[in-house]
Structure formats: structure tokens, C-alpha cells
Structure 1
């Protein structure tokens, strides 16, 4: 029997409208969830959490509640005891999105937002999809276990020593010319005890144990090795590599990265270093100095997940970045909602005037690709083009793509 059918999470339903609360309970029972606790107010839940031990695997929380609203409740409640959060409401989509951003910035684990009435298929995916399960549950998936303390400092050190961290590469396509434009380097952990782990299952622990610098050097070295081995008959290869803001706090890291490139006779211009916007503080002089040094050294600098942090379009004038990676939430919402569409259009136009390359992440359909091409976005990346691939399969994928393009023009 599959894990999805045997997993029965303990779910809290926080809804002040009795009819809607009963509807949520019915939706849960229809997908096989029977461990359900109901509450009509945030105050009722807080009293329960303060007086009793225990936790919930997931919480379905209405945003609009009498008294304390759902947003205020989730910010002050013990997040580790509420599990994964599913927001519900009949409020407009822009309020959903702003609530989602506030909670994500505060570290709350959000599965998603569901309009009322709750769609049972979407609810099942959010609550019963194995990667989202609570690590407290018996019989939970490997990914859930990895959210607990199973990943020790010793296991990470051993993994680095044994070169268990491996890379794959997701192609980037020039939307205006339909040509290959490089790839993003992504890391996986091939463990002997848990199998292949995704970044979300170990990156936080790597960061917490102070081992991010060592991992970054290994990932960068593997990216450089691919550039060295890249077939000469294929288009030139430029790779993106993710770095942590904490790594930039050590000024020696830039020298270490240069040494990795120099030892392989690779130019810094062949590497684009990506920094997540949510870790970036525009007025942090030390960070700005580090980014400037990267540019002086010849590296490209990309601001990843743009739109999820607090960098304004006005501040882009002073940031030493060469690329903006637009967060996938804009891509998914822009084709159906006016506000995200307006913001997306503004980002692309301002970046173009500043001569900053725009990259759209999470392109999944031809409609997404066409829409972004028409807006003038430069680069596209996502499953519509290709999933992340091992180095050898990336080469095969590109050769096949070139053959298909040649046959179209024959």
C-alpha cells in the first residue's frame, strides 16, 4: 500500500463560520483524514496550545476570523506545533498573496492558499503529498525525516569528504532567439542511508552547521569541471552557481572561488553567482562591497527569486547585479491576474533600461513562454524546456534540441 493512502495527519481546522468549518471537515474526511481538531477562534487555539502538550501535522486556517485574524494568529502561534499551514478565505487574490509573503518572511511553513469552497483534490495534494508530511509522524517519508535532526554535522562532513554531493544542471533558453543560453547548477545529496536528497532536505542544516562554504566550493568545482569538459562543437557554456549571503561575509571566499577557476583556466565571466533576494539587504555595506568585488573579479551576479524580498525597482539602480531571476509566483499569476501582470511588466522594462538581464523561472507551458517572450523577458528556465539534468544528459539534451531545430529549418 502506498504511503499516501496510509498517512493520516492530525489536522487543526480553524474557522469561525460553522458551515464552512463543517465543509472543511467533510473535505478532510473525503480524502481519508480522520484525526481532526476543530476550533472557532484563534483565542481558543492559543489557549489549547498554552495548556496542553502536543502538535498538529497541518493547520487549515481561515484568514478572516472574528477577533484575532488568521494572519495575526499565525505570526504569534507556535509555528512548530501547527505543522504545515493551508490558508483559506473568500478574500481577493491580492490579499492571499500579500498574506503569503508576510508569513513566508517570518518563516512559517505554508503549503498554499485555497479559496472557498475547498477543492478536495488540491487539499489532498497539499496535505498528503509525501514531501510535505510532518517529521513527527510514524511511517513518514524520507523527506519528512530529513526535516528533523536526522541530518547531523557528522553526516554532512562525511558526505563532503566522500563527495556525495553531486550536481545537475537546468538549461536556460534565450526566449528572444530560442537558443541555449547556459544552465543553472543545482546540488543533490546522494546519501548511502537515505538515497538521493533534494536541497530542501539538507541545505538548512548545512547552513546551520557552518559548512556552506565547503559545499559551495565543491559545487563550484563541479560546475567548472563541466565547463572544461564541454564539447567544443556545442554553444559555449555559462553556468549559474548559487551562493549564500553568509559566504560573502568571509572576504577570503572570493579568493577561494577564483583559485578554483584559475586552476582550471576558466574565466570568471563563465560563472554567474546567484544570491537569493530574501537574504539581500540593499543598504548592507559589507554585502554591497562583496558583490562589487565579485563584479571587479569578473563574475556575473544574479539576484535570485526577485519579488520575494524587499528590493525595490528604484534600488536596482545602485545594485551591482547583472541578472534578475523573477520569482516563479509572478510567472504563474501574471497570465490570469492583473496586478502580478503589471508588476512583471514593470520589472522587465526597468531591468531592460538598466541593461540587467531578466530570467523567468518556473516556465511550465508554451503559454508561459510565449507570454514572457512577448513581454520582452530575455531568458527562460523551467520544466517546459527541461528538468534538471546530470552533466552527460545535458549534453545529449542539447544535441537533440539542435537536431530538432536544424530539421525545422531544413
Structure 2
């Protein structure tokens, strides 16, 4: 969404702070801004229209209705925009307020200590792109006939993006990403252009099965290339998690191709909460049958740290919004450190998505546990022939340097 269309509310009892932050936001290109000298006034607007704002920047220590009560009320009415705490209070006070916000299901995108810098605000607002409330991109979808032809022509191809061990630099797993590759066309069609059509036609499973079958056939070749065992990972939608047939058919495909379920990871996107008994039953059965279960895009949705301790996840994928600029973003560092503690306690893998520059890579490599790293800085999604060429270069780079 264009910056001038993003609606932002600033809530603070200091007129100076309101004007200063508004000026900073204007300087960053955000023009659709309302300022409120009290949380009570802001809440009156939001209670009447829960979609009044995409983002709220709020102080904590305010008269009448303080920031913690404001956050609780926002959670109670189901506000789905992003919220950032902006305060001069002790860091531990801000941290506890953030924990309470999560308990109330507020979608927290940052904690900012006063005085606030433009760079801090910019980093926080970049996280808005992960929330559904600002996902209004318009895509040109392939037609139903085009998709049927692609499926019948076996044009659904797996592209692979590696997850690299931060200590050993080995490829621990490959995420399978769907592409349509038409003969004679060098540009693959991305999933956002055809998955909505697949959902409308009810052929999500067919697309998934074609990917799994091809990836299972590639496994032995890649196993020789990497010279060690690794895992494949694929995302299943909430609808597919509702369907026990999907899991059964995947198991059949793997069996036919001589691949054990323990070499496969099912990724479940956190943005869509698993709520129904059927979804949770499928999740548990997949784990019982040996599949790994990854929580994808952690930080963008509904799961809290306590749920990570109770659901049978084997992998947590930290959303890219918390990895970008982590080398200098204190909020992201706190999030990752808390997840490191959970990963140690629960013995689950931790994956950093969206590693896109050297500084962030180096910060993550210094972590006290091995983290799996995934992102364009390491490798973009590629078809198998290009993954083979990439790996030859990767071995040379990692043999001659520590990155």
C-alpha cells in the first residue's frame, strides 16, 4: 500500500511529542495521520470503526486512560492494525506492557524508547507490510483454464530455497515453493498469481501433490550433492490442514518415492490460527507419523509463546520483519532472544527468514545456538538445476571465508 494511504494514529498527552512524531512521519512520506492528546479520544474513534487506522503509536503514561488499559481495550474490540509502544518509562516497564499487549492479542510491531529517532519509526512501520490490514496488492491472476492446462501439462515446478546452519554452513533443509513454468517461457509464474485461482477451483491439493512428487524424486540427487541428510519443507494452508485426505495422499507419494516422513517438514503459517479440532488433529497426526511441523512467519499472527510450548512444533520460523536490521533493532533482538530460550527449552529448530544483508547475517551467526538462516542474501528460490550451480559456489565461499 502507498504510504499516503496508510492511516496512522499518534496517542500521547504531550503536545510537543505529538507534533514531533507527526513531523517525522511526514518526513518519511506518511501523510494520513491523526493525533490524539488522550487515549480516551482515540479509543472513541476506534471503537466506532475498528478499521479507522492501520497503525497506532501510543504512549504508556497518560491520564484518564493509560497505555496499558488502552491496549487491553484495543484487544477486546479486535483491533487488527499494528501497535507500537512509544514511552520514556523504564525498559522493564515497557517490556512488561508489551507482554500484556500480546496476551490481549494486540499485534505489537515495536517498542520505542523516547527520544524516538526517524530510523526507529521507519523500521517499525516497515513491519506493517506483514499484516493483512495493509496487504492490498492487486495481482493479475491466471485464468481457470490456464491453471488446468498447467496442472495437466505438469508445469507446476518446485523451486527451492535453502535453510543454512549458522554454525556449520550446511544445508539443513530446502523449502519447496510453487512456480508455474511454461515451455519456452523463461519467467516463472509466482504463486500469488495462481494460488487464488487454485483455491477457487478447489485444486490446492493437486498443486501440492505435484510439487511433493517432483521434490521427492529430486531428493536422492540432492542428497548426493550435499553429502549429508537434509529435509524438505512445504507449506499447507489452513483448508488443507482441515482435510485428512491431503496428509494421507502426501504419505502415499513419499512412500512410493522411498522417502520417509521424517525427511519432510509441514509449514503452517502463523497468520492463520489453527482453531478447529480437525486442524489440530491433523497437526498432531502428522507429528505422530514423523513429519516435522514448522510455525511459519512467527510474529505476524495469533500464536503466543505459551502456545509454542503446548503445540507439537519442531521448528519456528521468525518472520522477516524481525530479521531486517536486527543488528541494530533492539525490539527484534529481544524477540529473537526470547525465541532462542524457547527453542532451547523445547528442543526445536529456529529459522531466521528474510536474511538480506551481511550485517544481519553476522549478528545471527553470533547467536549462542545454531539458527537456520534463509533469505535472498544466501540464495533466492531456484529450480533444481540452478540450486546445483548455487551449491557449488556456496561450498567455495564457505570454504574460503567465514562470510
TM-score by length of 2: 0.68
Distance change (3 Å), C-alpha of 1:96 and 1:244: farther
* 8 Å contact from structure 1 (residues 11, 37) kept in 2: yes
* 8 Å contact from structure 1 (residues 12, 37) kept in 2: yes
Deviation at 1:36, TM superposition (A): 3.2
Tell me what 1:140 maps to: none
1: CA distance, partners of 2:160 / 2:201:
26
Tell me what 2:9 maps to: 12
Deviation at 1:239, TM superposition (A): 0.8
2: CA distance, partners of 1:202 / 1:90:
47
Tell me what 1:255 maps to: 248
Count of paired positions? 374
Tell me what 1:139 maps to: none
Tell me what 1:369 maps to: 365
Q: Secondary structure at the match of 1:45?
A: helix
* 8 Å contact from structure 1 (residues 333, 340) kept in 2: no
1:31-70 equivalences in 2 (<5 Å): 31-48=28-45, 55-56=52-53, 58-68=55-65, 69=67, 70=70
Tell me what 1:94 maps to: 95
Deviations 1:3-29 (A, max 9, x none): 97x846453322222221121122223
Deviation at 1:181, TM superposition (A): 1.8
Deviation at 1:162, TM superposition (A): 3.7
Q: Does residue 115 of structure 2 align to residue 120 of structure 1? A: no
Deviation at 1:257, TM superposition (A): 0.8
2: CA distance, partners of 1:77 / 1:407:
55
Deviations 1:139-187 (A, max 9, x none): xxxx6334xxx788x9689657646876543322334533222222345
Distance change (3 Å), C-alpha of 1:334 and 1:23: closer
- RMSD over aligned Cα atoms: 5.0
Instruction: Specify every segment of 5 or more residues in structure 1 that has no aligned partner in the other structure, as ranges.
Output: 137-142
Tell me what 2:265 maps to: 272
TM-score by length of 1: 0.67
2: CA distance, partners of 1:84 / 1:35:
15
1:11-410 equivalences in 2 (<5 Å): 11-48=8-45, 55-56=52-53, 58-68=55-65, 69=67, 70-76=70-76, 79=79, 84-91=82-89, 92=91, 93-95=94-96, 97-98=98-99, 101-102=102-103, 105=105, 108=107, 111-124=109-122, 127=125, 131=129, 144-146=136-138, 159=147, 162=150, 167-187=158-178, 213-214=205-206, 216-227=208-219, 230=222, 232-235=224-227, 236-275=229-268, 279=273, 289-295=281-287, 297-304=289-296, 308-311=303-306, 315=310, 319=312, 323-325=314-316, 327=318, 332=326, 343-344=338-339, 346-351=341-346, 356-362=347-353, 364-372=360-368, 375=369, 377=370, 379-383=371-375, 386-391=378-383, 392-406=385-399
Deviation at 1:71, TM superposition (A): 0.6
Distance change (3 Å), C-alpha of 1:160 and 1:49: farther
Deviations 1:54-86 (A, max 9, x none): 944544333443333331343256747xx6544
* 8 Å contact from structure 1 (residues 274, 301) kept in 2: yes
Distance change (3 Å), C-alpha of 1:144 and 1:404: same
Distance change (3 Å), C-alpha of 1:334 and 1:34: closer
Deviation at 1:214, TM superposition (A): 4.9
Deviation at 1:39, TM superposition (A): 1.8
Deviation at 1:133, TM superposition (A): 10
Distance change (3 Å), C-alpha of 1:179 and 1:371: same
Deviations 1:248-267 (A, max 9, x none): 33222222112333454433
2: CA distance, partners of 1:408 / 1:145:
40
2: CA distance, partners of 1:14 / 1:144:
26
2: CA distance, partners of 1:197 / 1:118:
39
* 8 Å contact from structure 2 (residues 213, 253) kept in 1: yes
* 8 Å contact from structure 1 (residues 168, 389) kept in 2: yes
